[in-house]
Amino acid sequence: MRLTDDKRQNTLPVNEEEALFEPNWLLPEVAASKISFPTERDFAARAFLMVGARRCASGEPELRREP
């Protein structure tokens, strides 16, 4: 999968439920604990661990931690 445009664009909600959604940008290690659906919460937690492991293996600096 590839982005067709690297700029974030505002989109209009498709339905009433979507209109209630408000993004809440958090640090990755905090975000996983705030997700309400267990499957998505587990996915986010595993993704955070995988990204950290790949960064470590490639010599990149660790992910930022919340103070």
> Percentage of the chain with pLDDT > 70?
85
Q: What is the DSSP letter of 30?
A: H
Q: Rounded to whole angstroms, how far apart are CA atoms 14 and 53?
A: 37
Give pLDDT, residue 32: 84
Angle at 19 between CA 13 and CA 24, to 5 degrees: 105
- The per-residue pLDDT for 42 is 92
Average pLDDT on 38-51 reads 89
Burial 10-23 (b: 16+ CB within 10 A, else e): eeeeeeeeeeeeee
Interval 2-26: pLDDT, tens: 767 777 777 777 788 877 878 888 8
